[in-house]
A = this chain, B = another copy of it.
Amino acid sequence: MKSKPLAAALTLVLGAGYAATALAQVKPEILVKQRQAKMVLQAKYFGPLAAMAQGKAPYDAKVVARNAGYLDVLTEMAWDGYDPSTKDVKSRTLPVAYTNADKFKQAQRQLETAVDQLVVAAKGGDEAKVKAAVGAVGKACGSCHDDFWEN
């Protein structure tokens, strides 16, 4: 391990110019990258739960509890990435996400509520309730993608 001043280490880790602009306007391309990253991780931790709910994988209460907790936190993240400044950056987000921000926020709330209920179900430990809650999360994902995402 080489010793490096913090500033140099941060530039290495975060990319030149990132730290300096951290609280100022973040570039639209970076915002898009961040919101896509959040989706990738949501898929990583939701996928196994979906497989369990569909009977394609054995039920594992430990994985359910961990992943529900992760999804709870991930679902809070990176919504600020749908900033109007990003509307011309290439992505699968449809223009309506920017033109009808209220409807988009409502869809976000729907997911948050479904994930909250999944967390409650995971704590309760009733497998049938967990599977129903996973289904509700999947529906919230799907309906938001139906409306705001290019297939």
Question: Which residue numbers of A lie inside 8 Å of B, CB to CB?
Answer: 1-2, 4, 6-10, 12-15, 18-20, 22-24, 33-34, 36-38, 40-41, 43-48, 50-54, 56-58, 60, 69-70, 73, 76-78, 135, 138-139, 141-143, 145-147, 151
Contact = CB atoms under 8 A, between A and B. Distances in A.
A23 B48 contact: yes
Nearest to A135: B6
Nearest to A19: B50
A147 B10 CA distance: 15
**What is the interface of chain A mostly: helix, strand, loop, or mixed?**
helix
Contacts of A138: 6, 9-10, 13
Given A47-B22, A146-B1, A13 B141 contact: yes
Contact of A145 (B13, B52, B139): B13
A33 B24 CA distance: 27
Contact of A9 (B20, B34, B73, B139): B139
Contacts of A70: 73, 76-77
A144 B47 CA distance: 29
Contacts of A57: 22-24
A38 B45 CA distance: 12
A69 to B, nearest CB: 8
Given A14-B43, A147-B1, A20 B56 contact: yes
A18 B6 contact: no
A6 B54 contact: yes
